[in-house]
Amino acid sequence: MATSSRQTVPPAGDDANSIEQADVAIAREAGRYRRHPVVRTMGAISELADQPPLIAICAATLGAGLLTRRPRLALAGARMLSAHLAATAAKTVIKRQVDRTRPKLLVDENRYERGAGERYEGDFNSFPSGHTAGAVAVARAVTRTYPDAAPAAGLLATMVALVQIPRCAHYLSDITAGAAIGWAAEAITERVFEAAGWRT
Protein backbone atom coordinates (compact mmCIF):
# COMPACT_ATOMS: atom_id res chain seq x y z
CA MET A 1 0.00 0.00 0.00
CA ALA A 2 2.92 2.35 0.66
CA THR A 3 4.46 4.26 -2.22
CA SER A 4 7.80 6.02 -2.64
CA SER A 5 6.11 9.42 -2.66
CA ARG A 6 2.74 10.75 -1.67
CA GLN A 7 0.02 10.42 -4.27
CA THR A 8 -3.49 11.72 -4.45
CA VAL A 9 -5.46 8.97 -6.08
CA PRO A 10 -8.71 9.85 -7.82
CA PRO A 11 -11.33 7.59 -6.21
CA ALA A 12 -11.64 4.48 -8.39
CA GLY A 13 -9.63 6.32 -11.04
CA ASP A 14 -6.97 5.10 -13.43
CA ASP A 15 -4.17 5.79 -10.94
CA ALA A 16 -5.70 3.54 -8.27
CA ASN A 17 -4.80 -0.14 -8.24
CA SER A 18 -7.50 -2.81 -8.32
CA ILE A 19 -7.58 -3.24 -4.55
CA GLU A 20 -7.99 0.49 -4.03
CA GLN A 21 -10.70 0.66 -6.65
CA ALA A 22 -12.63 -2.08 -4.88
CA ASP A 23 -12.04 -0.43 -1.50
CA VAL A 24 -13.30 2.91 -2.74
CA ALA A 25 -16.37 1.44 -4.42
CA ILE A 26 -17.33 -0.52 -1.30
CA ALA A 27 -16.65 2.44 1.00
CA ARG A 28 -18.81 4.76 -1.09
CA GLU A 29 -21.73 2.35 -1.07
CA ALA A 30 -21.41 1.32 2.58
CA GLY A 31 -20.91 4.92 3.68
CA ARG A 32 -24.50 5.68 2.75
CA TYR A 33 -25.53 3.77 5.88
CA ARG A 34 -23.12 5.26 8.39
CA ARG A 35 -25.85 7.23 10.18
CA HIS A 36 -28.24 4.27 10.36
CA PRO A 37 -29.10 3.46 14.00
CA VAL A 38 -27.87 -0.12 13.64
CA VAL A 39 -24.50 1.00 12.30
CA ARG A 40 -24.21 3.64 15.00
CA THR A 41 -25.03 1.11 17.72
CA MET A 42 -22.67 -1.55 16.39
CA GLY A 43 -20.01 1.08 15.91
CA ALA A 44 -20.32 2.18 19.53
CA ILE A 45 -20.04 -1.43 20.68
CA SER A 46 -17.00 -1.94 18.47
CA GLU A 47 -15.19 0.79 20.40
CA LEU A 48 -14.68 -1.81 23.13
CA ALA A 49 -12.02 -3.18 20.76
CA ASP A 50 -10.09 0.09 20.87
CA GLN A 51 -6.78 -0.19 22.71
CA PRO A 52 -7.59 1.20 26.20
CA PRO A 53 -10.89 -0.64 26.78
CA LEU A 54 -9.63 -3.91 25.30
CA ILE A 55 -6.48 -3.80 27.40
CA ALA A 56 -8.69 -3.16 30.44
CA ILE A 57 -10.89 -6.15 29.58
CA CYS A 58 -7.88 -8.43 29.14
CA ALA A 59 -6.24 -7.22 32.34
CA ALA A 60 -9.51 -7.57 34.27
CA THR A 61 -9.86 -11.15 33.06
CA LEU A 62 -6.34 -11.95 34.17
CA GLY A 63 -6.88 -10.21 37.51
CA ALA A 64 -10.17 -11.97 38.15
CA GLY A 65 -8.56 -15.33 37.49
CA LEU A 66 -5.72 -14.60 39.91
CA LEU A 67 -7.95 -13.17 42.64
CA THR A 68 -10.45 -16.03 42.49
CA ARG A 69 -7.68 -18.62 42.12
CA ARG A 70 -9.05 -19.91 38.85
CA PRO A 71 -5.97 -20.85 36.81
CA ARG A 72 -7.92 -21.41 33.60
CA LEU A 73 -9.46 -17.93 33.71
CA ALA A 74 -6.08 -16.40 34.57
CA LEU A 75 -4.50 -18.23 31.64
CA ALA A 76 -7.22 -16.93 29.34
CA GLY A 77 -6.56 -13.38 30.55
CA ALA A 78 -2.82 -13.73 30.11
CA ARG A 79 -3.28 -15.08 26.59
CA MET A 80 -5.72 -12.30 25.72
CA LEU A 81 -3.46 -9.55 27.03
CA SER A 82 -0.32 -10.92 25.40
CA ALA A 83 -2.00 -11.43 22.03
CA HIS A 84 -3.54 -7.97 22.11
CA LEU A 85 -0.29 -6.24 23.00
CA ALA A 86 1.53 -8.10 20.23
CA ALA A 87 -1.16 -7.19 17.69
CA THR A 88 -1.10 -3.56 18.81
CA ALA A 89 2.67 -3.37 18.47
CA ALA A 90 2.58 -4.86 14.98
CA LYS A 91 -0.20 -2.65 13.65
CA THR A 92 1.49 0.44 15.13
CA VAL A 93 4.71 -0.31 13.25
CA ILE A 94 2.79 -0.73 10.00
CA LYS A 95 0.66 2.39 10.53
CA ARG A 96 3.86 4.43 10.83
CA GLN A 97 4.97 3.15 7.43
CA VAL A 98 1.77 3.90 5.54
CA ASP A 99 -0.33 7.03 5.15
CA ARG A 100 -3.87 6.41 3.95
CA THR A 101 -6.80 8.72 4.44
CA ARG A 102 -9.87 7.24 6.07
CA PRO A 103 -13.10 6.57 4.18
CA LYS A 104 -14.87 9.41 5.97
CA LEU A 105 -12.70 11.88 4.01
CA LEU A 106 -13.60 10.08 0.81
CA VAL A 107 -17.32 10.20 1.57
CA ASP A 108 -17.38 13.74 2.97
CA GLU A 109 -14.77 15.47 0.79
CA ASN A 110 -14.16 13.13 -2.15
CA ARG A 111 -10.60 12.94 -0.84
CA TYR A 112 -8.31 9.93 -0.95
CA GLU A 113 -4.55 9.92 -0.41
CA ARG A 114 -2.01 7.22 0.20
CA GLY A 115 1.74 7.22 0.44
CA ALA A 116 4.78 6.48 2.54
CA GLY A 117 4.32 7.13 6.24
CA GLU A 118 4.77 10.78 7.09
CA ARG A 119 1.73 11.68 9.18
CA TYR A 120 0.93 9.65 12.28
CA GLU A 121 -2.51 11.08 12.95
CA GLY A 122 -6.00 9.64 12.93
CA ASP A 123 -7.35 10.77 9.58
CA PHE A 124 -4.22 9.57 7.76
CA ASN A 125 -3.79 6.17 9.42
CA SER A 126 -6.55 4.03 7.97
CA PHE A 127 -4.23 1.11 7.18
CA PRO A 128 -4.38 -1.36 8.91
CA SER A 129 -7.38 -1.59 11.24
CA GLY A 130 -6.25 -1.70 14.85
CA HIS A 131 -9.75 -2.51 16.10
CA THR A 132 -9.80 -5.58 13.89
CA ALA A 133 -6.28 -6.67 14.82
CA GLY A 134 -7.07 -6.47 18.52
CA ALA A 135 -10.46 -8.10 18.26
CA VAL A 136 -9.17 -11.05 16.23
CA ALA A 137 -6.14 -11.55 18.47
CA VAL A 138 -8.25 -11.56 21.64
CA ALA A 139 -10.96 -13.75 20.14
CA ARG A 140 -8.36 -16.33 19.14
CA ALA A 141 -6.77 -16.15 22.59
CA VAL A 142 -10.11 -16.73 24.29
CA THR A 143 -10.84 -19.81 22.22
CA ARG A 144 -7.45 -21.30 23.07
CA THR A 145 -8.62 -21.65 26.65
CA TYR A 146 -12.37 -21.93 26.10
CA PRO A 147 -12.96 -23.72 22.76
CA ASP A 148 -16.72 -23.67 23.27
CA ALA A 149 -16.58 -19.86 23.11
CA ALA A 150 -15.29 -19.94 19.53
CA PRO A 151 -18.63 -19.16 17.80
CA ALA A 152 -19.41 -16.18 20.03
CA ALA A 153 -15.84 -14.86 20.01
CA GLY A 154 -15.64 -15.22 16.25
CA LEU A 155 -18.96 -13.50 15.74
CA LEU A 156 -17.95 -10.54 17.91
CA ALA A 157 -14.60 -10.15 16.17
CA THR A 158 -16.30 -10.30 12.78
CA MET A 159 -18.84 -7.67 13.83
CA VAL A 160 -16.09 -5.37 15.10
CA ALA A 161 -14.25 -5.73 11.80
CA LEU A 162 -17.11 -5.39 9.34
CA VAL A 163 -18.84 -2.43 11.00
CA GLN A 164 -15.72 -0.35 10.41
CA ILE A 165 -16.66 -0.17 6.73
CA PRO A 166 -20.15 1.40 6.93
CA ARG A 167 -19.05 3.67 9.78
CA CYS A 168 -16.37 5.02 7.39
CA ALA A 169 -13.47 4.17 9.69
CA HIS A 170 -11.68 1.66 7.45
CA TYR A 171 -11.55 0.17 3.98
CA LEU A 172 -12.03 -3.54 3.33
CA SER A 173 -8.29 -4.09 2.80
CA ASP A 174 -7.62 -2.30 6.12
CA ILE A 175 -9.70 -4.80 8.05
CA THR A 176 -8.33 -7.73 6.06
CA ALA A 177 -4.80 -6.69 6.99
CA GLY A 178 -5.87 -6.10 10.57
CA ALA A 179 -7.35 -9.58 10.80
CA ALA A 180 -4.15 -11.12 9.46
CA ILE A 181 -2.10 -9.17 12.00
CA GLY A 182 -4.34 -10.26 14.86
CA TRP A 183 -4.25 -13.89 13.77
CA ALA A 184 -0.45 -13.90 13.42
CA ALA A 185 0.11 -12.05 16.70
CA GLU A 186 -1.97 -14.57 18.64
CA ALA A 187 -0.21 -17.51 16.96
CA ILE A 188 3.20 -16.11 17.87
CA THR A 189 2.31 -15.38 21.49
CA GLU A 190 0.80 -18.85 21.84
CA ARG A 191 4.15 -20.32 20.77
CA VAL A 192 5.70 -18.48 23.71
CA PHE A 193 3.07 -19.87 26.07
CA GLU A 194 3.65 -23.38 24.77
CA ALA A 195 7.40 -23.03 25.17
CA ALA A 196 6.86 -21.93 28.77
CA GLY A 197 4.53 -24.87 29.39
CA TRP A 198 1.52 -22.63 30.00
CA ARG A 199 -1.43 -24.39 28.44
CA THR A 200 -4.79 -25.86 29.37
Residue 30 makes CB contacts below 8 A (sequence gap 6+) with: 165, 166, 168
Contact by Cβ (8 Å): 75, 145: yes
What whole-number distance in Å separates Cα of residue 126 and Cα of residue 149?
30
Contact by Cβ (8 Å): 185, 83: yes
pLDDT at residue 200, as a whole number: 67
Domain boundaries, the chain: 7-196
Contact by Cβ (8 Å): 183, 132: no
Helix count (H) and strand count (E) of the chain?
Answer: 8, 3
What whole-number distance in Å separates Cα of residue 105 and Cα of residue 79?
36
Residue 47 makes CB contacts below 8 A (sequence gap 6+) with: 53, 131
Specify the amino acid at residue 174: D
Q: Among residues 63, 62, 49, 198, which one has the least CA distance to residue 138? A: 49
For helices 71-95 and 51-67, what crossing angle results, to 10°? 160
Options 2.40.128.120, 3.40.800.20, 1.20.144.10, 3.40.50.11440; CATH of 7-196:
1.20.144.10
One pLDDT digit (tens) per residue for the chain, 200 residues: 434 344 455 554 445 678 888 999 999 999 999 999 999 999 999 998 999 999 999 999 999 999 999 999 999 999 999 999 999 999 999 999 988 999 999 998 888 888 886 777 668 889 999 999 999 999 999 999 999 999 999 999 999 999 999 999 999 999 999 999 999 999 999 999 988 887 76
**Tally of CB atoms within 10 A around 69:** 8
Residue 195 makes CB contacts below 8 A (sequence gap 6+) with: none
Query: CB-side exposure of 24: number of CA atoms within 13 Å?
Result: 23
